Amino acid sequence: MSVLIAPSVLSCDFANLARDVEMINNSQADWFHIDVMDGVFVPNISFGFPVMEAINRYAKKPMDVHLMIANPDPYIAEFKKCGAEILTVHFEACTHLHRTIQAIKAAGMKAGVALNPHTPVSVLEDLILDLDLVLIMSVNPGFGGQKFITNAIKKVSDCKKLIVEKGATTLIEVDGGVNLETGKSLVAAGADVLVAGSFVFGSSNPNETISALKLL
């Protein structure tokens, strides 16, 4: 399987949202990556349900929604209603993580768990068979354009080893500081999905940049 590319909508031009969504539709990208931040779990606020609904009206590819919020459980059904096909919550934000994962699946979505840079992959040992996706954060969550944390490459390797040992089918996604150089190392380590925000939307030709990432 070639690597899946999920451009991060957080980095698009919100004054031209429909244009950028259409660019992703017409590119070789596989998913829309949507970061939802609450200003509590992370020191930033992004966007909520109205913007998600607007994206969903035009999106022709799956919406991969990453919740950086303190208490995701009450909102699971609403994210499904807004078009989320994959819903990822943070290990650090969920007191009863297994219950949250089951609720996401019961709502009809694929379930993912994100790990902050300081959280080891080993915390997922008892849960990996229940997960469709593990999101390795290669920057501290909250803001785009941060420098890549190189330890993420080892975490991808550790995660791939755990998946193989347990006989799971979980995908490994990486978000933060992804470019052609870091992306190549991540794919070699076992990453299945690369999230790219500022690298795509800050380039002179986002469509070509997505194609280049797809070739990693």
Q: What is the pLDDT of residues 147-190, one digit of tens each?
A: 899 999 999 999 999 999 999 999 999 999 999 999 999 999 99
pLDDT at 147: 87
Q: What are the backbone angles phi and psi of residue 110, rounded to the nearest 5°? A: -80, 145
pLDDT at 141: 82
38 catalytic per annotation = no
Query: What is the rounded average pLDDT of the residues 198-209?
Result: 96
pTM for this model (two decimals): 0.97
pLDDT digits over 23-75, tens only?
Answer: 999 999 999 999 999 999 999 999 899 999 999 999 999 999 999 999 999 99
Q: Choosing from 20, 30, 35, 132, which is the catalytic residue?
A: 35
35 catalytic per annotation = yes
Mean pLDDT (the chain) is 96
| Single-letter amino acid, residue 197 | G
Q: Choosing from 20, 30, 175, 192, which is the catalytic residue?
A: 175
> Across the chain, where does the E strand assignment appear?
4-7, 32-37, 63-68, 84-90, 110-115, 133-137, 171-175, 193-196
pLDDT at 142: 72
pLDDT at 111: 98
Closest to 63 measured CA to CA, from 13, 29, 39, 16: 29
CA 154, CA 160: separation in Å to the nearest integer? 10
CB 139 within 8 A of CB 176: yes
pLDDT digits over 96-149, tens only?
Answer: 999 999 999 999 999 999 999 999 999 999 999 999 999 999 999 877 767 899
CA 109, CA 104: separation in Å to the nearest integer? 6
CA 195, CA 185: separation in Å to the nearest integer? 14
pLDDT at 169: 98
Which domains are delineated in the chain? 4-214 (3.20.20.70)
pLDDT at 65: 98
Q: What are the backbone angles phi and psi of residue 173, rounded to the nearest 5°? A: -115, 145
Per-residue pLDDT at 1 exceeds 90 = no
